[in-house]
Amino acid sequence: MTRSTLVWVAVVVVVLVVIDIALVTLALGRTAPNAGDQAGPIPTFSARPDASTSPTPTPSADAAGEPRRFLSAVDSQEAWRGSGATCGGAAPTLEHTVDGGATWVPVALGSDVSTLMAIRASSTDLAILAGIGEDCTTTVRTSADDGVTWTAGSPGAAGAGVSSDGIVLATGVLEPPCSDPIEAYQGQQTSVVICDGQVEWRSGAGDWVDVPLGGVRSMADNGDEYLLATISSDACEGVEIASMTAIGVTPETATTTVGCDADAATTGLISLDRAGNSVWLWAGDVVSVSADGGATW
């Protein structure tokens, strides 16, 4: 190879090297971040299963999806109230007042309590009907120290409740006498289920008696009578309190007006209870107390 040929080969090699260096520099300049660029998100990974494969929680709320309400009065100053959230969802709540409902103090239920179905208080203790664990196993618990500690309770100690399986009584779970029951009650001799448009009553283990009463949202034991919290009454703009016999109920059984809480909210769930002449009503965000059996508020 001549001298001139070698020179041209060397020139070509140098040119190719220069072009290669230029291309590499350009590529690096496009992929490297600029000093003023915002950093991109760092990929993250989660071990939580996809929502479509998660188990469907068992509902313990009412048909409209609102957590059920529970109110249990001890006297004119002391009462307990709670709400039963969706099983597997938000934790249920329990609160205590000793000043006529002016202030309410939260009470811990325990981390394993998934839902609340009933509460019943006295001057000595408090009983709750709760769903325990992920399966919401129906369990009765009692406390003699205002909810500081809890022990196992006997069936029926907290009264009756409404679960996704039916009406929970001391003797077991029964098929509800109507679709979408609002509230359930069990006394020593009778049981009541409040439905939308009727009240179902029975004595002992007898058949349910259908009493067509519209607008009833809650009830309270009053000895030989029941007190009913009713809405949509022509005579009361708020919540009307009526009485109904608890003995020998028939489809023709009538109610008698006791009083009217004209300022009470009529939307959402309502809870009623009685301790002596003190009647407690939880409607909307307000808990009201009547000192004369529900006549005035």
263-292: pLDDT as tens digits = 999 999 999 999 999 999 999 999 999 999
* Average pLDDT in the chain: 84
Three-state DSSP state, 11: helix
Q: How confident is the model at residue 23 (pLDDT cuts 50, 70, 90)?
A: very low
Give the C-alpha separation, 192 to 195, whole Å. 10
Q: Write out the two tokens for 278.
A: 């003190």
- Least confident interval from 18-27, 162-171, 222-231: 18-27
105-151: per-residue pLDDT in tens?
Answer: 999 998 899 999 999 999 999 999 999 998 999 999 999 999 999 99
Residues 6 or more apart in contact with residue 48 via CB below 8 angstroms: none
Write the DSSP assignment of 36-47 as a string of letters. TSPPPPPP----
Which of 99, 150, 92 shows the shortest CA–CA distance to 117?
Answer: 92
Q: What sections of 63-219 are H helices per DSSP?
A: none
Can you list the positions of beta strands (E) in 137-238? 137-143, 151-152, 161-163, 166-169, 172-174, 183-186, 190-194, 199-203, 209-211, 216-222, 225-230
Write the DSSP assignment of 89-111 as a string of letters. SSPPEEEEESSTTS--EE----T
Q: How confident is the model at residue 32 (pLDDT cuts 50, 70, 90)?
A: very low
Give the C-alpha separation, 111 to 104, whole Å. 21
- Least confident interval from 4-13, 50-59, 214-223, 249-258: 50-59
Which pLDDT score is estimated for 232? 87
Mean pLDDT of 194-220: 96
Q: What is the pTM of this model?
A: 0.78
68-290 folds as Methylamine Dehydrogenase; Chain H (2.130.10)
Mean pLDDT of 75-80: 98
User: What share of the chain has pLDDT > 90, as a percent?
Assistant: 71
81-114: per-residue pLDDT in tens?
Answer: 999 866 776 789 999 999 999 999 999 998 899 9
Q: What are phi and psi of 289, to 5 degrees?
A: -130, 130
Q: What sections of the chain are H helices per DSSP?
A: 3-31
Which pLDDT score is estimated for 30? 41
Q: Where are the domains of the chain?
A: 1-32, 68-290
Sign of the torsion angle spanned by Cα atoms 55, 61, 66, 71: negative
Higher pLDDT, 210 or 111: 210
Which of 259, 263, 266 shows the shortest CA–CA distance to 288?
Answer: 263
